[in-house]
Chain A
Amino acid sequence: MASSAAPSPSEVLSLFRSLLRTAREFSDYNIREYMRRRTIDAFRENKLLEKASSVVAAYSDGRNQLLVAKRQSVVYSMYAPGVKSIMEVRGSSGD
């Protein structure tokens, strides 16, 4: 496989945004929050990467994760339970 050039900053931000948007689409509260947290943590951690090859690897890993997440959000929505998670109920005590 030919080595690809490092992604531009705007491509990285675009991937970041796509991952966060896909996270929002999950009907399951837990997955939604986890995906959001994990995306933010991973991008922060990788922000300091210097080697071009590491950047390329992280970027393509992110892209693969995005594809998995997109498929999974569809599958999860097919089997979503009717009841919302307690964390999503506004006005519950301790809020």
Chain B
Amino acid sequence: MAMKAAVLRHIRLSAAPTRTLGLASPASCRWGGVLGSVFRSLSSHGDDHLSKDEVVDRVLSVVKSFPKVDPSSVTPDVHFQKDLGLDSLDNVEIVMALEEEFKLEIPDLEADKIDSTRLAIEYIYNHPMAG
């Protein structure tokens, strides 16, 4: 599972050839060099980006399925703590649930800022690796 994720990460990186060779660590250099040309043609990075509607739907369904939340009060512009009556621990839990839904790793600095559905949707929509 972790291997698959690591391979996918390298495939996506190889899609932008000139940039990644500079960024590549010694380990991924082998992938970029050997498989870069193969995967460049297979990877259609532009196509598999999520649509805004899909991001909105999935974010809202994650928030709605959180046990302490009243599903009817969840909108694309609702604040977790101020509108939904959650606390900071719940906030962390929700962001973790979003990470799992979209298969992302959100760094702590960014995760601390996500305190509403609007920010969550914006962050995930703009994240190149959201899946």
Q: Which residues of A contact B (CB under 8 A)?
A: 9-10, 13-14, 16-17, 20-21, 24, 40, 43-44, 47
Is there contact, CB below 8 Å, between A13 and B89? yes
Chain A residues contacting B89 (CB-CB under 8 Å) are: 13, 16, 40, 43-44, 47
Q: Which residues of B contact A (CB under 8 A)?
A: 87-89, 92-93, 96, 100, 108, 111-112
Chain A residues contacting B87 (CB-CB under 8 Å) are: 47
Chain B residues contacting A10 (CB-CB under 8 Å) are: 112
Q: Which residue of B lies closest to A27 (CB)?
A: B1
Chain A residues contacting B93 (CB-CB under 8 Å) are: 20, 40
Is there contact, CB below 8 Å, between A14 and B96? no
A81 to B88, CA, bound (A): 36
Q: How far is the CB of A44 from chain B (nearest CB, A)?
A: 7
**Contact A9-B88, Cβ < 8 Å, known A17-B108, A17-B111:** yes
